[in-house]
Structure 1
Amino acid sequence: MDHQKLEKQLGLWDVYAIATGAMFSSGFFLLPGIAAAETGPSVFIAYLVSGLLALPTMFSMAELATAMPKAGGTYYIIDRSLGPMIGTVGGYGSWLALVLKSAFALIGMGAYLGIFFDIPIIPVAIVLTLVFGILNVVGAKETTALQKILVAALISIMIFYILQGLFSIFSMDFVEITKTQFTPLFTNGATGFFATVGMVFVSYAGLTKVASIAEEVKQPDKNIPLGMILSIMSAIFVYVSGVYIMVAVLEPSEFRSDLTPVATAGEAFMHWLPGESGVLLVVIAAVAAFASTGNAGIMSASRYPLAMARDKLLDERFARISTKGTPIIAIVATTLMMIFFLVAFNVAEVAKLASAFQLLLFALLNLAVIVMRESKIEEYDPGFTSPLYPWLQIIGMIFSAVLILEMGLLSILFTVVVSIFAVGWYYYYAYGKIDRQGAIFHVHARLGEKKDYGLEREMRGILREKGLREDDPFERVVSQAIVIDESSTELSYKTIIKRASEKLAERLTLDAEALFDKFCATHNTGAIPLGNGAAINHVRINEDLPSEMVLVRIPEHLSVSTKDFDVLNEDKTGEVENLRAIFFLVSSSENSGQHLRILAHLAEMIDNKHFIDRWKKASNDTELREILLRDERFINIKISSVNNTQKLIGKKIMEIDLPGESLITILKRDGEIKIPHGSTVIREGDELSIIGEVEDISLIKEWKKVDE
């Protein structure tokens, strides 16, 4: 985890714009007529079925991306779940498929511009590739700013287009239209229909590409799944409604041979607009769609070589981050590869061949969810969990396999060739350089084989990067923490564990000796070193209890061996870790994920370079707690008759109207710490520790002011 990190600067609408922009291009503006030739008027149903069948992979990707929000998306997930060899196949295949799809989109953009302008398509596509490549180098935020403009224009025009089309259809004789345009519904029977489902399925493939920029997403647990769900809902609505309109208004034989069916249909029902305004709107929407696919494609595709270089599967220069916060070498390589395909190949034909590989990746992503869950890695902590596990994933894998067989021999051969190249590259370049096996080895461990401990460490690092969830009680745990401010310089680690165990046992009504034994047995070490003069010891109890913590400050350095340390021997200490702070955490086993997130966030706070200096200088228990709390969400007030807190004197805590969801966590009275209850009566001189949202704490600060 020592590589350069990408800045988290993308929000919900950035995710939505990238996912939506990656889906709309040839699938809507070029493909419907070709698909209708296979199944007839039922083509709009084929788009609906394909969208629904994309849901298993969408749910799987949302779960995996929230558990592992790292650059490289599909590659990174497959690598960490199924191992680096399969990861290399996924990395090269994902990059190649997305490069081809993006290049094809820019050709389509040139084709639609050709409706109004006499321009050479390939040179225009090359210029556009360079423009989008430069924009991606400038910065992710700038790239997604353009993406949001393009997607907003696309969706706005498409909504107008669909509303006008439906109004036109329903203002005519609906029964007659259905009879003439939709009969027979399935011209080639079930075989033709399911072949069409496979053909249009790849129209939704761009949805999962958003995972490749997951590392740059703020609040990934919320924004990634919500952005993907909103995106696929938009896509299904536009695809199904739009194609239904095309079937209804276009003459069947004309529709099936039309490569610009959206524009042709628009001419039929938007003729009331002046001049060629209707067609112009469609062209603008098409240009926005193809441009957004090309733009998002370069952004997403460039993260694959970045992630592979971080993992030593490519030259480390591909992982270099520019001063703009973008992977400049990876972007340049992706841009040049797109230009190469545009110049050297018939991109439309090669892009079709990549469809089978995308389906293979879909199958692997569904398998990855099963592997990660069955590995029982505690640090696997997705912010979103796929419903109907594992049946949804099994359906997704079966459907992907069936569709791959429908893709034809050339597409399957293309997939095999790319896979063989990737495996060859792995053994030629990377084998022996890397020491990881993937989560599948944890599944092996349950069968008596070895597991990949390095993956557990990496997942803990991801937990630190992700941070806390909104409902994690970190502030409550720290603000109520028991503080042991040790004054003696003559003490052992065993003594500290005993004191912490006794205090926690008293608060949680547990057996102190049993708790002591658990702390001693943790990882068979006695302490988990964090560096910066601090260590954590933590246990989980098989009981329903809240998380509780003990903070220990040591006046002089305590040398504690953190490897093979015999904690039961008071005289045996090593020279491994000089400690000034030790933290003991107890949680319920039922909240394993929350326990790990609290530990990860605690480690993040301790890692601050100013932590140990503030820790040594703190004058009392309250200041020790405040060091670990976010200042804007915590306040300590003293009840006095000379300021606005006087209104609290004599009131029970249940009677106090605190702003928002604020909570009194600690009451200090006459030097003693008390856990407040609803019936506790506030007295003058009491000190209250309160946690809450930023705006609520700012209101409570007003209580400390003196009335004028």
Structure 2
Amino acid sequence: MAEKQSRGCLPEESFQSMGNYWRALRQTGFRLVDRITARSLVADEIREVLARSGQEMKKTLSWWDLMWFGIGGVIGAGIFVLSGQEAKESSGPAVVLSYGISGISAMLSVFCYTEFAVEIPVAGGSFAYLRVELGDFVAFVAGGNIILEYIMGCAAVARSWTSYLATLINHKPDDLRINVSSLPRDYSQLDPLAVVLCVAICSATVLSTKAASHFNSVTTIVHIFILLFIIVTGLLYADSSNMKPFAPFGASGIFSSAAVLFFSYVGFDAVSTMAEETKNPPRDIPLGLVGAMSITTVAYCLLALTLCLMVPYSRIDPDAPFSVAFETVGLGWAKYIVSFGALKGELKA
């Protein structure tokens, strides 16, 4: 009896004896091949996800809700982190075209996500779709890439948040960072405020998902009004001569910039994970995702055009492009509105 009880405490039958262990070890190759080539069935995937959830989620979301979730999840980092950097370093005023190319690529991805989300309306997102279509191994690799993607996105947004906060209080971004000369040049500026921001937002989300959702809705509305302010006010100070030369780095600069700017559209995939909570997935998911991506692409292109019309691309500040652009055209007061909007938008993002 004691022997049976001790064996029952072991995690796997393979480790209950040396004989079992060696037999299991000889099967490693076959198990690995099976793991790489195994695919999940749609019905099994739906049952597994529902079993992990414990109970079925309430279907309360419409296409209108999904569209605003998508807009709120995407708009943010692409405007306040990458637009100035890519315009100055890779594409010049042609950054408008780069945003358009990235938007088309993102829309094609949206069509794929839409098809999968309608076919498999579960909360597993792309991981669940890949398990069914390509197998466990590809899903595992893609899941790791998605986690890395969001880690890099959060880090970039949090670091940019420090830059806009510095602009808001009339300081340079480096004033709020710690320079460690013993570290390599590209890694020597530590950003403690960015770390505090990430920890605070993570803690708030864990403590109350509902409160985080309300906060996201409010900040999205405020964010959109500030974006409209940037476009309307910025175009009043537009100078068409700033668009020349249009593509100083050539076609290669446009496409290399488009590859980086695709990062701006990260977040739309989160909408597909809400399929389980959607009232009518075949109708609401396509409308919500395509609507969100269309509005986001137009907004990005208009904002990039506004920035490049306000100041020459060579004078764009890569840390806080819009705040410094308004200051350059003599609207010093406007930079505070823009910086506040950037802080809000990046907290949401």
Q: Structure 2 length normalisation: TM-score? A: 0.72
Comparing both structures, which one devotes a greater share of its residues to helix?
2
Corresponding residue number in structure 2 for 1:166: 235
Q: Map residues 465-480 of structure 1 onto 2, 5 A cutoff.
A: none
The Cα offsets for residues 167-212 of structure 1, whole Å up to 9 and x where unpaired, read as 333xxxxxxx43x322222212222222222121221132223223
CA distance in 1, matches of 2:284, 2:154: 24
Q: Map residues 427-438 of structure 1 onto 2, 5 A cutoff.
A: none
**SS of residue paired to 2:168:** coil
Amino acid at match of 2:132: R
Amino acid at match of 1:33: G
2:99–2:297 contact (8 Å) kept in structure 1: yes
Give the CA deviation at 1:158: 0.3
Amino acid at match of 1:250: V
Give the CA deviation at 1:240: 0.8
CA distance in 2, matches of 1:225, 1:239: 21
Corresponding residue number in structure 2 for 1:429: none
Amino acid at match of 2:286: P
Give the CA deviation at 1:130: 3.3
Give the CA deviation at 1:157: 0.8
Corresponding residue number in structure 2 for 1:50: 102
Identity, in percent, stands at 25
1:75–1:91 contact (8 Å) kept in structure 2: yes
How has the CA–CA distance of structure 1 residues 140 and 216 changed in structure 2, closer, same or farther, with 3 Å as cutoff?
Answer: farther
How has the CA–CA distance of structure 1 residues 128 and 14 changed in structure 2, closer, same or farther, with 3 Å as cutoff?
Answer: farther
Give the CA deviation at 1:86: 1.0
Q: Map residues 689-704 of structure 1 onto 2, 5 A cutoff.
A: none
2:235–2:310 contact (8 Å) kept in structure 1: no
| Residue number among 266, 280, 285 corresponding to 1:219 in the alignment | 280
CA distance in 2, matches of 1:292, 1:6: 28
1:270–1:278 contact (8 Å) kept in structure 2: no
| Residue number among 17, 22, 25 corresponding to 2:73 in the alignment | 22
Give the CA deviation at 1:84: 1.1
2:77–2:157 contact (8 Å) kept in structure 1: yes
User: Residue 128 in 1 paired to residue 178 in 2?
Assistant: no
| Residue number among 160, 163, 175 corresponding to 1:111 in the alignment | 163
User: Residue 41 in 1 paired to residue 93 in 2?
Assistant: yes
1:38–1:193 contact (8 Å) kept in structure 2: yes
| Residue number among 99, 105, 119 corresponding to 2:151 in the alignment | 99
Give the CA deviation at 1:166: 2.2
Give the CA deviation at 1:265: 2.1
CA distance in 2, matches of 1:286, 1:267: 15
CA distance in 2, matches of 1:269, 1:11: 43
| Residue number among 216, 219, 234 corresponding to 1:150 in the alignment | 219
Corresponding residue number in structure 2 for 1:702: none
Give the CA deviation at 1:10: 4.4
2:243–2:312 contact (8 Å) kept in structure 1: no
1:71–1:212 contact (8 Å) kept in structure 2: yes
**SS of residue paired to 2:245:** coil
Q: Map residues 579-618 of structure 1 onto 2, 5 A cutoff.
A: none
CA distance in 1, matches of 2:66, 2:197: 22
Corresponding residue number in structure 1 for 2:324: 264
How many residue pairs match? The answer is 280
The Cα offsets for residues 476-506 of structure 1, whole Å up to 9 and x where unpaired, read as xxxxxxxxxxxxxxxxxxxxxxxxxxxxxxx
**SS of residue paired to 2:167:** coil
How has the CA–CA distance of structure 1 residues 60 and 7 changed in structure 2, closer, same or farther, with 3 Å as cutoff?
Answer: same
2:223–2:345 contact (8 Å) kept in structure 1: yes
CA distance in 2, matches of 1:75, 1:231: 22
Corresponding residue number in structure 2 for 1:426: none
Comparing both structures, which one devotes a greater share of its residues to strand?
1
Q: Map residues 55-454 of structure 1 onto 2, 5 A cutoff.
A: 55-117=107-169, 119=176, 122-169=191-238, 177-178=239-240, 180-255=241-316, 257-268=317-328, 271=331, 276-293=332-349
Q: Structure 1 length normalisation: TM-score? A: 0.37
2:168–2:335 contact (8 Å) kept in structure 1: no
Gaps of 5+ in 2: 1-46, 178-189
Bigger Cα displacement from structure 2, 5-14 vs 126-135: 5-14
2:70–2:288 contact (8 Å) kept in structure 1: yes
Gaps of 5+ in 1: 170-176, 294-708
Query: Which of structures 1 and 2 has the bigger CA Rg?
Result: 1
1:17–1:147 contact (8 Å) kept in structure 2: no
How has the CA–CA distance of structure 1 residues 283 and 125 changed in structure 2, closer, same or farther, with 3 Å as cutoff?
Answer: same
User: Residue 7 in 1 paired to residue 67 in 2?
Assistant: no
Give the CA deviation at 1:140: 4.0
The Cα offsets for residues 608-661 of structure 1, whole Å up to 9 and x where unpaired, read as xxxxxxxxxxxxxxxxxxxxxxxxxxxxxxxxxxxxxxxxxxxxxxxxxxxxxx
Corresponding residue number in structure 2 for 1:629: none
Give the CA deviation at 1:233: 2.1
Q: Could you say what the CA RMSD is over the residues aligned between the two structures, in angstroms?
A: 2.4
The Cα offsets for residues 422-468 of structure 1, whole Å up to 9 and x where unpaired, read as xxxxxxxxxxxxxxxxxxxxxxxxxxxxxxxxxxxxxxxxxxxxxxx
2:76–2:345 contact (8 Å) kept in structure 1: yes
CA distance in 2, matches of 1:130, 1:222: 37
**SS of residue paired to 1:258:** coil
CA distance in 2, matches of 1:227, 1:34: 30
2:62–2:284 contact (8 Å) kept in structure 1: yes
1:74–1:94 contact (8 Å) kept in structure 2: no
2:167–2:323 contact (8 Å) kept in structure 1: no
CA distance in 1, matches of 2:329, 2:308: 13
